[in-house]
Chains A and B, each alone.
Chain A
Amino acid sequence: MMRGPAKLGRRSVWKWAAGLAALLALSLGAVAGGSGDGATMSSRTPKPTLVIEKGERCVEDTAYMRRNHMKLLMHQRDDTVHKGIRTEKHSLQNCINCHASSKNNSVLGTDENFCQSCHSYAAVKLDCWDCHASKPKQQATAPAPALAVGMAATAGGKQ
């Protein structure tokens, strides 16, 4: 036969309540203690040292970019390769043009560089740069002179 909860012995109920109270007190104390030395805790946690060169104005909100930049890049990459859509907004080149470090003109190199800092912190492998250039294009505004230089070199080589 089953006994209902009301039929439980009074002593066991009190024991259970006391145990719960003790647990609550303990956990509250732990939280209080944690918040008490919070500064120490955060300094013990390594953070990526992110150097943002050109202000906070990205193509989307910062929070959105942090979570979704890889999706935007993936979408743009398929559109570019397969459909020839070469808009700047979500292109990898646009990322690099804005975020390349002023020190070494790249998004890679040290753990202070824009892409590398977060990715090495999160241990997420960066393989874009096996194929893509990590530096901005030389003359983003005027491609014609670069071509002219190339042509001159070609002509010179021939003579």
Chain B
Amino acid sequence: MNEKNANPIDQDRRQFLTASAAMAGVAIAPGVLLYNIAHGKPADQPVSNAVRWGMLIDTNQCREGCDACVKACGEENGFGHGTRETDSQWIRKVELKDMRSGQTKSLPVMCQHCAEPPCVDVCPTGASFKRADGIVLVDRHICIGCRYCMMACPYKARSFVHERITDQNPDVPRGIGCVESCTMCVHRVDRDQQPACVEACAKAGHGAIIFGNLNDPNSEIAKRIAQYATMELRADLKLNLGVRYQGF
């Protein structure tokens, strides 16, 4: 092993082969083949635990005062933001300040899509559940609006719908009396698209949020997590979060 790593020619050869294989893949099926390998689920197949969706938020790229992700989330999922205290918040910008150095950080916080979600543990009806691919959801057909999950969530990620809703996005059913939270735009993910906040952040020029498959060592998110120090919010709770933060 050591011998192999010590040989720079082997290293170079390996890098060259990897790079050329990637180029060949791109050339054979531009944007299609590689994309399908990365996401790869036909519409009639169930999600599997071969994939675990996650997000990496680079707090160095996230701009104070920018709320492109929050707005995009509201538009995609059919609610305004911040107008009333009772309005749903699936994602919010949180300002952090180190009291000693005075340094501030601004970062988005949403449902952290725990591997061991407390909301699922406490839900009395089974409405709160984790999909095989790691996305934590509320089945509104089963939710009785008891809000135990809201109390159990350490991230204050869940909202309750207090008022009657009309003109929903057909892809995002929402209604009175149910608890809801960030779905990682599951309707888009199932169609091999990125969540709305990720696209909006990239469009705003920050690119602070990366979305991808944590289980795939070749995905950008897995590479970044392998390369840089990242952290989970309240890592002491050992919930194994799907959302990670970089740059603290």
Residues of A near any B CB (own CB < 8 A): 77-79, 81-87, 93, 96, 130-133, 135-137, 147, 150-151, 153-155, 157-158
Q: List 20 A-B contacts (CB under 8 A).
A: A81-B137, A81-B139, A83-B47, A83-B131, A84-B133, A84-B186, A85-B43, A86-B43, A86-B190, A86-B191, A93-B171, A130-B176, A133-B168, A133-B173, A136-B170, A147-B196, A154-B203, A155-B203, A155-B204, A157-B71
Chain A residue numbers with a CB within 8 Å of B174 are: 131
Q: Which residue of chain A has the shortest Cβ distance to B186 in the bound complex?
A: A84
A154 CB contact (under 8 Å) in B47, B75, B139: B75
A86 to B193, CA, bound (A): 14
Chain B residue numbers with a CB within 8 Å of A86 are: 43, 187, 190-191
B227 in contact (CB, < 8 A): no
A153 to B72, CA, bound (A): 9
Report yes or no: B200 in contact with A132, Cβ–Cβ below 8 A.
no
Residues of B near any A CB (own CB < 8 A): 41, 43-47, 66-68, 71-72, 75-76, 129, 131-133, 137, 139-141, 164-165, 167-171, 173-176, 178, 186-187, 190-191, 196, 199-200, 203-204
Given contacts A84-B41, A86-B191, A130-B176, 20 further A-B contacts (CB under 8 A): A81-B141, A82-B129, A83-B132, A84-B131, A84-B186, A85-B45, A96-B170, A130-B164, A135-B167, A137-B169, A137-B170, A147-B199, A150-B72, A150-B76, A153-B75, A154-B68, A154-B204, A155-B203, A158-B66, A158-B68
